[in-house]
Structure 1
Amino acid sequence: MPLVNLAVVLVSPKTPGNIGSAARAMLNMGARDLRLVAPRCDHLDSQAVAMAVHAADLLREARVYPTLREALADRDLSVGTSARIRADLPAPRHPAQVRPLVRAASAPALVFGPEETGLVNSDLEQCQVTVRVPTGDYASLNLAQAVLLVCYEFLQAQDEVPASERKTATREEMEAMYGHLHQTMHLIGYTDAVRARHTLRLWRAMLDRALMSSAESRLFRGLLRQVEWKVRDAARCGTVEGKAAPADETALD
Protein backbone atom coordinates (compact mmCIF):
# COMPACT_ATOMS: atom_id res chain seq x y z
CA MET A 1 0.00 0.00 0.00
CA PRO A 2 1.25 3.51 -0.77
CA LEU A 3 1.32 4.81 2.81
CA VAL A 4 1.89 1.55 4.62
CA ASN A 5 5.04 2.94 6.33
CA LEU A 6 3.22 6.04 7.62
CA ALA A 7 2.21 6.08 11.29
CA VAL A 8 -0.74 8.28 12.22
CA VAL A 9 -0.44 9.47 15.82
CA LEU A 10 -3.47 10.85 17.66
CA VAL A 11 -2.54 12.73 20.81
CA SER A 12 -5.10 12.50 23.62
CA PRO A 13 -8.18 11.91 21.43
CA LYS A 14 -11.42 12.53 23.30
CA THR A 15 -14.18 10.48 21.67
CA PRO A 16 -14.35 6.90 20.36
CA GLY A 17 -16.24 8.05 17.26
CA ASN A 18 -13.42 10.36 16.19
CA ILE A 19 -10.85 7.59 16.61
CA GLY A 20 -12.96 5.19 14.57
CA SER A 21 -13.54 7.77 11.84
CA ALA A 22 -9.82 8.57 11.73
CA ALA A 23 -9.05 4.86 11.35
CA ARG A 24 -11.46 4.65 8.43
CA ALA A 25 -9.82 7.68 6.79
CA MET A 26 -6.40 6.05 7.22
CA LEU A 27 -7.56 2.82 5.60
CA ASN A 28 -9.00 4.79 2.67
CA MET A 29 -5.52 6.21 2.02
CA GLY A 30 -3.59 2.98 2.62
CA ALA A 31 -2.15 3.82 6.06
CA ARG A 32 -2.46 1.11 8.73
CA ASP A 33 -0.20 2.11 11.65
CA LEU A 34 -2.45 3.89 14.17
CA ARG A 35 -0.85 5.11 17.40
CA LEU A 36 -2.72 6.68 20.32
CA VAL A 37 -1.05 8.84 22.96
CA ALA A 38 -2.84 8.97 26.33
CA PRO A 39 -6.34 8.56 24.85
CA ARG A 40 -9.23 9.83 27.00
CA CYS A 41 -11.58 7.07 25.89
CA ASP A 42 -11.65 3.40 24.93
CA HIS A 43 -10.56 3.10 21.30
CA LEU A 44 -12.29 -0.28 21.11
CA ASP A 45 -15.63 1.13 22.25
CA SER A 46 -18.59 0.06 20.12
CA GLN A 47 -18.95 3.60 18.75
CA ALA A 48 -15.35 3.56 17.53
CA VAL A 49 -15.81 0.18 15.86
CA ALA A 50 -19.05 1.33 14.22
CA MET A 51 -17.45 4.50 12.82
CA ALA A 52 -14.38 2.58 11.63
CA VAL A 53 -16.56 0.31 9.43
CA HIS A 54 -14.03 -1.90 7.57
CA ALA A 55 -11.10 -0.45 9.56
CA ALA A 56 -12.03 -2.31 12.76
CA ASP A 57 -8.91 -4.48 12.47
CA LEU A 58 -6.81 -1.33 12.29
CA LEU A 59 -8.38 -0.20 15.58
CA ARG A 60 -7.63 -3.53 17.24
CA GLU A 61 -4.00 -3.33 16.08
CA ALA A 62 -3.55 0.25 17.31
CA ARG A 63 -0.78 0.81 19.83
CA VAL A 64 -1.27 3.00 22.91
CA TYR A 65 1.57 5.07 24.41
CA PRO A 66 1.78 7.22 27.54
CA THR A 67 3.80 9.99 25.84
CA LEU A 68 4.34 11.40 22.36
CA ARG A 69 8.07 10.85 22.67
CA GLU A 70 7.52 7.11 23.07
CA ALA A 71 5.07 7.01 20.17
CA LEU A 72 7.66 8.67 17.89
CA ALA A 73 10.71 6.81 19.18
CA ASP A 74 11.20 4.58 16.11
CA ARG A 75 10.16 7.20 13.52
CA ASP A 76 12.73 9.05 11.40
CA LEU A 77 10.41 11.92 10.42
CA SER A 78 7.58 13.46 12.44
CA VAL A 79 5.11 15.84 10.83
CA GLY A 80 2.90 17.84 13.17
CA THR A 81 -0.40 19.49 12.25
CA SER A 82 -1.48 22.97 13.31
CA ALA A 83 -3.69 25.77 12.04
CA ARG A 84 -1.85 28.45 14.00
CA ILE A 85 1.44 30.32 13.87
CA ARG A 86 3.44 29.67 17.05
CA ALA A 87 6.21 31.84 18.46
CA ASP A 88 9.68 30.24 18.31
CA LEU A 89 8.40 27.43 16.06
CA PRO A 90 8.59 27.15 12.25
CA ALA A 91 5.42 28.25 10.44
CA PRO A 92 3.15 25.47 9.15
CA ARG A 93 3.60 24.51 5.49
CA HIS A 94 1.24 23.18 2.85
CA PRO A 95 1.20 19.35 2.99
CA ALA A 96 2.32 19.17 -0.66
CA GLN A 97 5.53 21.01 0.26
CA VAL A 98 6.35 18.33 2.82
CA ARG A 99 5.59 15.45 0.46
CA PRO A 100 9.24 14.94 -0.67
CA LEU A 101 10.36 14.59 2.96
CA VAL A 102 7.65 12.01 3.66
CA ARG A 103 8.54 10.13 0.48
CA ALA A 104 12.23 10.04 1.41
CA ALA A 105 11.65 8.91 5.00
CA SER A 106 11.78 5.24 5.96
CA ALA A 107 9.41 5.62 8.91
CA PRO A 108 7.41 8.87 8.83
CA ALA A 109 4.76 9.85 11.37
CA LEU A 110 1.84 12.26 11.06
CA VAL A 111 0.78 13.76 14.39
CA PHE A 112 -2.65 15.20 15.30
CA GLY A 113 -3.59 16.89 18.55
CA PRO A 114 -6.67 16.78 20.79
CA GLU A 115 -9.94 17.79 19.17
CA GLU A 116 -10.41 20.91 21.33
CA THR A 117 -6.92 22.40 21.25
CA GLY A 118 -4.76 20.75 18.63
CA LEU A 119 -1.11 20.11 19.38
CA VAL A 120 0.47 22.23 22.10
CA ASN A 121 3.94 23.75 21.72
CA SER A 122 5.68 20.97 23.63
CA ASP A 123 4.22 18.46 21.13
CA LEU A 124 5.17 20.53 18.08
CA GLU A 125 8.74 20.80 19.39
CA GLN A 126 9.04 17.06 18.77
CA CYS A 127 8.02 17.43 15.12
CA GLN A 128 10.59 18.35 12.50
CA VAL A 129 8.01 20.08 10.33
CA THR A 130 4.43 21.28 10.70
CA VAL A 131 1.68 21.27 8.09
CA ARG A 132 -1.60 23.14 7.80
CA VAL A 133 -4.51 22.17 5.59
CA PRO A 134 -5.50 25.29 3.63
CA THR A 135 -9.11 26.18 4.38
CA GLY A 136 -11.49 29.13 4.19
CA ASP A 137 -11.93 31.58 7.05
CA TYR A 138 -13.44 28.82 9.16
CA ALA A 139 -10.39 26.65 9.76
CA SER A 140 -11.82 24.05 12.14
CA LEU A 141 -11.68 20.53 10.70
CA ASN A 142 -13.03 17.34 12.19
CA LEU A 143 -10.18 15.04 13.23
CA ALA A 144 -11.04 12.40 10.62
CA GLN A 145 -11.31 15.07 7.90
CA ALA A 146 -7.85 16.33 8.75
CA VAL A 147 -6.41 12.80 8.70
CA LEU A 148 -8.01 12.09 5.33
CA LEU A 149 -6.86 15.34 3.69
CA VAL A 150 -3.24 15.21 4.84
CA CYS A 151 -2.89 11.50 4.06
CA TYR A 152 -4.37 12.19 0.62
CA GLU A 153 -1.74 14.88 0.00
CA PHE A 154 1.01 12.48 1.02
CA LEU A 155 -0.52 9.74 -1.13
CA GLN A 156 0.24 11.84 -4.20
CA ALA A 157 3.92 11.08 -3.65
CA GLN A 158 3.56 7.43 -4.66
CA ASP A 159 4.72 8.03 -8.22
CA GLU A 160 7.37 10.61 -7.39
CA VAL A 161 11.06 9.78 -7.29
CA PRO A 162 12.28 9.99 -3.68
CA ALA A 163 14.36 13.09 -3.01
CA SER A 164 16.86 10.97 -1.12
CA GLU A 165 17.42 7.43 0.04
CA ARG A 166 19.32 8.70 3.07
CA LYS A 167 18.46 7.05 6.41
CA THR A 168 17.89 9.68 9.05
CA ALA A 169 18.13 9.34 12.82
CA THR A 170 15.06 8.22 14.74
CA ARG A 171 13.17 10.75 16.83
CA GLU A 172 14.36 9.02 19.99
CA GLU A 173 17.97 9.50 18.91
CA MET A 174 17.27 13.17 18.16
CA GLU A 175 15.40 13.73 21.43
CA ALA A 176 18.28 12.17 23.38
CA MET A 177 20.67 14.47 21.50
CA TYR A 178 18.56 17.52 22.35
CA GLY A 179 18.47 16.51 26.00
CA HIS A 180 22.25 16.21 25.93
CA LEU A 181 22.57 19.61 24.23
CA HIS A 182 20.31 21.17 26.87
CA GLN A 183 22.51 19.83 29.68
CA THR A 184 25.68 21.07 27.97
CA MET A 185 24.19 24.54 27.43
CA HIS A 186 23.60 24.86 31.17
CA LEU A 187 27.02 23.45 32.02
CA ILE A 188 28.92 26.01 29.94
CA GLY A 189 26.65 28.95 30.82
CA TYR A 190 25.37 29.28 27.25
CA THR A 191 21.84 29.81 28.56
CA ASP A 192 19.90 29.88 31.81
CA ALA A 193 16.62 28.47 33.07
CA VAL A 194 14.65 31.49 31.82
CA ARG A 195 15.95 31.44 28.24
CA ALA A 196 16.67 27.72 27.86
CA ARG A 197 13.42 26.67 26.15
CA HIS A 198 13.53 29.48 23.59
CA THR A 199 17.20 28.83 22.87
CA LEU A 200 16.72 25.09 22.47
CA ARG A 201 13.79 25.63 20.08
CA LEU A 202 16.09 27.62 17.81
CA TRP A 203 18.67 24.84 17.87
CA ARG A 204 15.98 22.21 17.25
CA ALA A 205 14.73 24.08 14.20
CA MET A 206 18.23 24.34 12.75
CA LEU A 207 19.36 20.79 13.49
CA ASP A 208 16.09 19.18 12.41
CA ARG A 209 16.49 20.83 9.00
CA ALA A 210 19.78 18.97 8.67
CA LEU A 211 17.99 15.58 8.72
CA MET A 212 20.89 14.00 10.57
CA SER A 213 21.72 10.34 10.21
CA SER A 214 22.17 8.16 13.31
CA ALA A 215 25.94 8.38 12.89
CA GLU A 216 25.80 12.17 12.66
CA SER A 217 23.73 12.44 15.83
CA ARG A 218 26.32 10.30 17.61
CA LEU A 219 29.09 12.48 16.19
CA PHE A 220 27.39 15.60 17.55
CA ARG A 221 26.95 13.99 20.97
CA GLY A 222 30.61 13.03 20.93
CA LEU A 223 31.45 16.72 20.60
CA LEU A 224 29.12 17.53 23.50
CA ARG A 225 30.79 14.88 25.68
CA GLN A 226 34.19 16.34 24.89
CA VAL A 227 32.98 19.83 25.81
CA GLU A 228 31.57 18.52 29.10
CA TRP A 229 34.80 16.69 29.90
CA LYS A 230 36.92 19.75 29.12
CA VAL A 231 34.79 22.05 31.28
CA ARG A 232 34.75 19.65 34.23
CA ASP A 233 38.47 18.94 33.90
CA ALA A 234 39.24 22.66 33.87
CA ALA A 235 36.98 23.16 36.90
CA ARG A 236 38.85 20.43 38.79
CA CYS A 237 42.14 22.13 37.97
CA GLY A 238 40.75 25.48 39.06
CA THR A 239 41.45 27.14 35.71
CA VAL A 240 37.89 27.98 34.66
CA GLU A 241 35.18 29.97 36.35
CA GLY A 242 31.64 29.52 35.02
CA LYS A 243 30.39 32.64 33.24
CA ALA A 244 27.27 33.13 31.15
CA ALA A 245 27.68 34.51 27.65
CA PRO A 246 26.05 37.86 26.76
CA ALA A 247 22.36 37.58 25.89
CA ASP A 248 22.89 38.28 22.18
CA GLU A 249 25.21 35.27 21.92
CA THR A 250 22.84 32.76 23.49
CA ALA A 251 19.75 33.25 21.34
CA LEU A 252 18.68 34.80 18.08
CA ASP A 253 15.58 36.94 18.38
Structure 2
Amino acid sequence: MSAFALSVILVSPKTPGNIGSAARAMKNMGAAELRIVAPRCNVLDSEALAFSVHAEDLIRSAPIFDTLEEALADLDFAMGTTARQHHDLPEQIFPSEARPLLKAFQKVGIVFGREESGLTTEELARCQAIIRIPTSDYASLNLAQAVLLCCYELLQADRSSGAAPVVTEEAPEIAPREQMERFYTQLEEFILKVQYTDHPRVKHKMRQFRKIFDQARMNEDQIRMLRGLWAQALWAAKTKKFVVED
Protein backbone atom coordinates (compact mmCIF):
# COMPACT_ATOMS: atom_id res chain seq x y z
CA MET A 1 0.00 0.00 0.00
CA SER A 2 1.20 3.53 -0.72
CA ALA A 3 -0.12 7.00 -0.04
CA PHE A 4 -1.51 8.95 -2.98
CA ALA A 5 0.76 11.54 -4.54
CA LEU A 6 -0.62 15.09 -4.46
CA SER A 7 0.28 17.59 -7.19
CA VAL A 8 -0.51 21.28 -6.75
CA ILE A 9 -1.40 23.06 -9.98
CA LEU A 10 -1.19 26.86 -10.11
CA VAL A 11 -3.07 28.44 -13.02
CA SER A 12 -1.58 31.69 -14.36
CA PRO A 13 0.14 32.87 -11.16
CA LYS A 14 0.95 36.57 -11.36
CA THR A 15 3.82 37.17 -8.92
CA PRO A 16 7.00 35.17 -8.25
CA GLY A 17 6.58 35.61 -4.50
CA ASN A 18 3.27 33.77 -4.55
CA ILE A 19 4.84 30.86 -6.42
CA GLY A 20 7.65 30.67 -3.89
CA SER A 21 5.32 30.92 -0.89
CA ALA A 22 3.01 28.26 -2.34
CA ALA A 23 5.99 25.94 -2.86
CA ARG A 24 7.05 26.46 0.75
CA ALA A 25 3.53 25.59 1.95
CA MET A 26 3.60 22.44 -0.19
CA LYS A 27 6.95 21.39 1.26
CA ASN A 28 5.64 21.91 4.79
CA MET A 29 2.75 19.52 4.18
CA GLY A 30 4.43 16.93 1.97
CA ALA A 31 2.82 17.63 -1.42
CA ALA A 32 4.68 15.73 -4.12
CA GLU A 33 4.84 18.05 -7.12
CA LEU A 34 4.23 21.61 -8.28
CA ARG A 35 2.79 22.19 -11.76
CA ILE A 36 2.32 25.62 -13.31
CA VAL A 37 -0.05 26.59 -16.13
CA ALA A 38 0.58 29.68 -18.28
CA PRO A 39 2.49 31.73 -15.69
CA ARG A 40 2.40 35.52 -16.00
CA CYS A 41 5.83 35.96 -14.44
CA ASN A 42 9.27 34.38 -14.41
CA VAL A 43 8.85 31.18 -12.39
CA LEU A 44 12.58 31.10 -11.57
CA ASP A 45 12.73 34.75 -10.51
CA SER A 46 14.96 35.38 -7.49
CA GLU A 47 11.90 36.41 -5.47
CA ALA A 48 10.22 33.05 -6.10
CA LEU A 49 13.32 31.16 -5.02
CA ALA A 50 13.80 33.36 -1.93
CA PHE A 51 10.18 33.01 -0.79
CA SER A 52 10.33 29.24 -1.24
CA VAL A 53 13.03 28.96 1.49
CA HIS A 54 13.84 25.22 1.45
CA ALA A 55 11.36 24.35 -1.31
CA GLU A 56 13.47 25.64 -4.19
CA ASP A 57 13.63 22.12 -5.63
CA LEU A 58 9.85 22.10 -6.18
CA ILE A 59 10.06 25.27 -8.25
CA ARG A 60 13.09 24.24 -10.30
CA SER A 61 11.51 20.88 -11.16
CA ALA A 62 8.00 22.25 -11.81
CA PRO A 63 6.76 21.48 -15.34
CA ILE A 64 5.19 24.41 -17.21
CA PHE A 65 2.03 23.78 -19.26
CA ASP A 66 0.20 25.94 -21.78
CA THR A 67 -3.25 24.71 -20.72
CA LEU A 68 -4.92 23.20 -17.68
CA GLU A 69 -6.01 20.23 -19.80
CA GLU A 70 -2.36 19.35 -20.42
CA ALA A 71 -1.51 19.74 -16.74
CA LEU A 72 -4.26 17.29 -15.71
CA ALA A 73 -3.73 14.75 -18.49
CA ASP A 74 -1.94 12.03 -16.49
CA LEU A 75 -3.79 12.47 -13.19
CA ASP A 76 -6.48 10.15 -11.85
CA PHE A 77 -8.50 12.79 -10.00
CA ALA A 78 -8.48 16.60 -9.94
CA MET A 79 -9.99 19.06 -7.48
CA GLY A 80 -10.60 22.71 -8.34
CA THR A 81 -10.76 25.46 -5.72
CA THR A 82 -13.20 28.37 -5.69
CA ALA A 83 -15.05 30.68 -3.32
CA ARG A 84 -17.93 31.23 -5.77
CA GLN A 85 -21.08 29.16 -6.29
CA HIS A 86 -21.55 27.41 -9.67
CA HIS A 87 -24.95 25.77 -10.07
CA ASP A 88 -24.04 23.43 -12.94
CA LEU A 89 -20.80 22.10 -11.42
CA PRO A 90 -20.34 19.42 -8.75
CA GLU A 91 -21.47 20.47 -5.28
CA GLN A 92 -18.77 22.24 -3.32
CA ILE A 93 -17.11 20.36 -0.48
CA PHE A 94 -14.62 21.30 2.22
CA PRO A 95 -11.03 20.02 1.98
CA SER A 96 -11.60 17.67 4.93
CA GLU A 97 -14.60 16.17 3.12
CA ALA A 98 -12.48 15.50 0.03
CA ARG A 99 -9.97 13.34 1.90
CA PRO A 100 -12.08 10.12 1.96
CA LEU A 101 -12.65 10.39 -1.80
CA LEU A 102 -8.94 10.04 -2.49
CA LYS A 103 -8.58 6.45 -1.26
CA ALA A 104 -9.45 5.20 -4.75
CA PHE A 105 -6.71 7.18 -6.51
CA GLN A 106 -2.95 7.29 -6.82
CA LYS A 107 -2.23 10.53 -8.71
CA VAL A 108 -4.30 13.43 -7.38
CA GLY A 109 -4.17 17.11 -8.28
CA ILE A 110 -5.57 20.23 -6.63
CA VAL A 111 -5.93 23.31 -8.81
CA PHE A 112 -5.62 26.93 -7.67
CA GLY A 113 -6.61 29.85 -9.87
CA ARG A 114 -5.38 33.35 -10.55
CA GLU A 115 -4.71 35.55 -7.53
CA GLU A 116 -7.24 38.21 -8.57
CA SER A 117 -9.98 36.13 -10.24
CA GLY A 118 -9.56 32.43 -9.45
CA LEU A 119 -10.51 29.67 -11.88
CA THR A 120 -13.00 30.11 -14.70
CA THR A 121 -16.14 28.00 -14.92
CA GLU A 122 -14.69 26.04 -17.82
CA GLU A 123 -11.50 25.32 -15.86
CA LEU A 124 -13.51 24.15 -12.86
CA ALA A 125 -15.54 21.91 -15.17
CA ARG A 126 -12.37 19.94 -15.94
CA CYS A 127 -12.11 18.96 -12.27
CA GLN A 128 -14.00 16.11 -10.65
CA ALA A 129 -14.50 17.81 -7.29
CA ILE A 130 -14.91 21.45 -6.28
CA ILE A 131 -13.20 22.55 -3.06
CA ARG A 132 -14.21 25.56 -0.97
CA ILE A 133 -12.26 26.56 2.10
CA PRO A 134 -14.72 27.48 4.87
CA THR A 135 -14.19 31.09 5.95
CA SER A 136 -16.11 33.96 7.49
CA ASP A 137 -17.98 36.38 5.24
CA TYR A 138 -14.60 37.66 4.03
CA ALA A 139 -13.52 34.77 1.82
CA SER A 140 -10.40 36.20 0.17
CA LEU A 141 -7.30 34.13 0.94
CA ASN A 142 -3.71 34.60 -0.15
CA LEU A 143 -2.66 31.90 -2.62
CA ALA A 144 -0.07 30.39 -0.28
CA GLN A 145 -2.59 30.36 2.59
CA ALA A 146 -5.06 28.43 0.45
CA VAL A 147 -2.37 25.96 -0.63
CA LEU A 148 -1.27 25.44 2.98
CA LEU A 149 -4.79 24.84 4.29
CA CYS A 150 -5.76 22.42 1.53
CA CYS A 151 -2.50 20.46 1.68
CA TYR A 152 -2.81 20.21 5.47
CA GLU A 153 -6.34 18.84 5.30
CA LEU A 154 -5.55 16.41 2.49
CA LEU A 155 -2.16 15.16 3.70
CA GLN A 156 -1.61 15.82 7.39
CA ALA A 157 -4.89 16.26 9.31
CA ASP A 158 -5.44 12.54 9.99
CA ARG A 159 -1.93 12.12 11.34
CA SER A 160 -2.45 14.74 14.01
CA SER A 161 -5.28 12.65 15.46
CA GLY A 162 -3.25 9.46 15.43
CA ALA A 163 -5.05 7.98 12.44
CA ALA A 164 -3.19 6.44 9.53
CA PRO A 165 -2.62 8.58 6.44
CA VAL A 166 -4.88 8.09 3.47
CA VAL A 167 -3.70 5.10 1.42
CA THR A 168 -4.84 3.21 -1.61
CA GLU A 169 -5.62 -0.48 -1.16
CA GLU A 170 -6.50 -1.78 -4.61
CA ALA A 171 -6.94 1.34 -6.67
CA PRO A 172 -9.12 0.68 -9.72
CA GLU A 173 -7.58 1.37 -13.11
CA ILE A 174 -9.40 4.62 -13.69
CA ALA A 175 -8.82 6.22 -17.08
CA PRO A 176 -6.42 9.19 -17.00
CA ARG A 177 -7.78 12.64 -17.66
CA GLU A 178 -6.24 12.75 -21.13
CA GLN A 179 -8.52 9.91 -22.24
CA MET A 180 -11.50 11.41 -20.46
CA GLU A 181 -11.00 14.69 -22.32
CA ARG A 182 -10.96 12.85 -25.67
CA PHE A 183 -14.12 11.08 -24.51
CA TYR A 184 -15.78 14.44 -23.79
CA THR A 185 -14.65 15.88 -27.12
CA GLN A 186 -16.34 13.02 -28.97
CA LEU A 187 -19.45 13.28 -26.76
CA GLU A 188 -19.79 16.99 -27.54
CA GLU A 189 -19.51 16.29 -31.28
CA PHE A 190 -22.08 13.49 -30.93
CA ILE A 191 -24.75 15.49 -29.10
CA LEU A 192 -24.41 18.31 -31.61
CA LYS A 193 -24.68 16.00 -34.62
CA VAL A 194 -27.78 14.25 -33.26
CA GLN A 195 -29.21 17.69 -32.37
CA TYR A 196 -29.61 16.83 -28.69
CA THR A 197 -28.65 20.46 -28.08
CA ASP A 198 -27.31 23.43 -30.03
CA HIS A 199 -24.09 25.43 -29.98
CA PRO A 200 -25.32 28.19 -27.60
CA ARG A 201 -26.26 25.58 -24.95
CA VAL A 202 -23.65 22.89 -25.52
CA LYS A 203 -21.17 24.10 -22.87
CA HIS A 204 -23.84 23.99 -20.18
CA LYS A 205 -24.93 20.50 -21.29
CA MET A 206 -21.33 19.28 -21.31
CA ARG A 207 -20.81 20.46 -17.73
CA GLN A 208 -23.82 18.35 -16.76
CA PHE A 209 -22.49 15.31 -18.64
CA ARG A 210 -19.10 15.75 -16.97
CA LYS A 211 -20.75 15.54 -13.56
CA ILE A 212 -22.40 12.26 -14.55
CA PHE A 213 -19.44 10.51 -16.17
CA ASP A 214 -16.77 11.78 -13.76
CA GLN A 215 -18.75 10.28 -10.88
CA ALA A 216 -18.75 6.93 -12.72
CA ARG A 217 -14.91 6.76 -12.56
CA MET A 218 -14.70 4.76 -15.76
CA ASN A 219 -11.76 2.68 -16.92
CA GLU A 220 -10.33 2.64 -20.44
CA ASP A 221 -12.45 -0.32 -21.61
CA GLN A 222 -15.67 1.38 -20.53
CA ILE A 223 -14.66 4.55 -22.35
CA ARG A 224 -13.93 2.59 -25.53
CA MET A 225 -17.34 0.90 -25.31
CA LEU A 226 -19.21 4.20 -25.11
CA ARG A 227 -17.12 5.87 -27.81
CA GLY A 228 -17.74 2.85 -30.05
CA LEU A 229 -21.48 3.06 -29.37
CA TRP A 230 -21.62 6.72 -30.36
CA ALA A 231 -19.55 6.13 -33.48
CA GLN A 232 -21.84 3.25 -34.49
CA ALA A 233 -24.95 5.35 -33.86
CA LEU A 234 -23.63 8.12 -36.11
CA TRP A 235 -22.72 5.60 -38.82
CA ALA A 236 -26.19 4.03 -38.61
CA ALA A 237 -27.86 7.43 -38.82
CA LYS A 238 -25.73 8.44 -41.81
CA THR A 239 -26.39 5.20 -43.69
CA LYS A 240 -30.02 4.91 -42.53
CA LYS A 241 -29.35 1.53 -40.94
CA PHE A 242 -31.58 2.13 -37.92
CA VAL A 243 -34.31 -0.45 -37.27
CA VAL A 244 -37.29 1.14 -35.56
CA GLU A 245 -39.98 -1.10 -34.11
CA ASP A 246 -43.23 -0.14 -32.42
TM-score, length-normalised on structure 2? Answer: 0.91
Q: Which structure 1 residue ranges, 4+ long, deviate > 6 Å from structure 2? A: none
* 1:75–1:171 contact (8 Å) kept in structure 2: yes
After TM superposition, the structure 1 = structure 2 runs for residues 1-253 of structure 1, keeping only pairs within 5 Å, are 5-155=5-155, 156=157, 159-160=165-166, 162=168, 165-234=171-240
Cα separation, 2, equivalents of 1:188 and 1:224: 10
Equivalent residue of 2:78, what SS?
strand
* 2:77–2:128 contact (8 Å) kept in structure 1: yes
Deviation per CA, 1:164-219: give whole Å up to 9, x if none: 62121111111110110000001111111121111111111111111111221122
Equivalent residue of 2:10, what SS?
strand
Number of residue pairs matched by the alignment: 236
Equivalent residue of 1:80, what SS?
strand
* 2:3–2:168 contact (8 Å) kept in structure 1: no
Residue 163 of structure 1 deviates from its aligned partner by 7.6
Residue 160 of structure 1 deviates from its aligned partner by 4.2
Quote the sequence identity (%): 50
Residue 90 of structure 1 deviates from its aligned partner by 2.0
Aligned alpha-carbon RMSD (Å)? 1.9
Equivalent position of 1:243 in the other structure: none
Equivalent residue of 1:195, what SS?
helix
* 2:3–2:165 contact (8 Å) kept in structure 1: no
Deviation per CA, 1:87-133: give whole Å up to 9, x if none: 31123111121112223211111000000001110100100110111
Q: RCO (CA 8 Å, sep 6+): is it higher in 1 or 2? A: 2
* 2:4–2:168 contact (8 Å) kept in structure 1: no
User: One-letter code of the match for 2:232?
Assistant: Q
* 1:4–1:31 contact (8 Å) kept in structure 2: no
Equivalent residue of 1:127, what SS?
coil
Cα separation, 2, equivalents of 1:87 and 1:112: 20
Alignment CA distance shift 1:161-1:43 (3 Å): closer
Runs of at least 5 residues in structure 1 that lack an aligned partner in the other structure = 241-253
Alignment CA distance shift 1:196-1:163 (3 Å): farther
Runs of at least 5 residues in structure 2 that lack an aligned partner in the other structure = 159-163
Cα separation, 1, equivalents of 2:3 and 2:150: 12
Cα separation, 2, equivalents of 1:55 and 1:43: 13
Cα separation, 2, equivalents of 1:47 and 1:161: 36
Cα separation, 2, equivalents of 1:3 and 1:83: 28
User: One-letter code of the match for 1:8?
Assistant: V
Equivalent position of 1:249 in the other structure: none
Cα separation, 1, equivalents of 2:126 and 2:46: 32
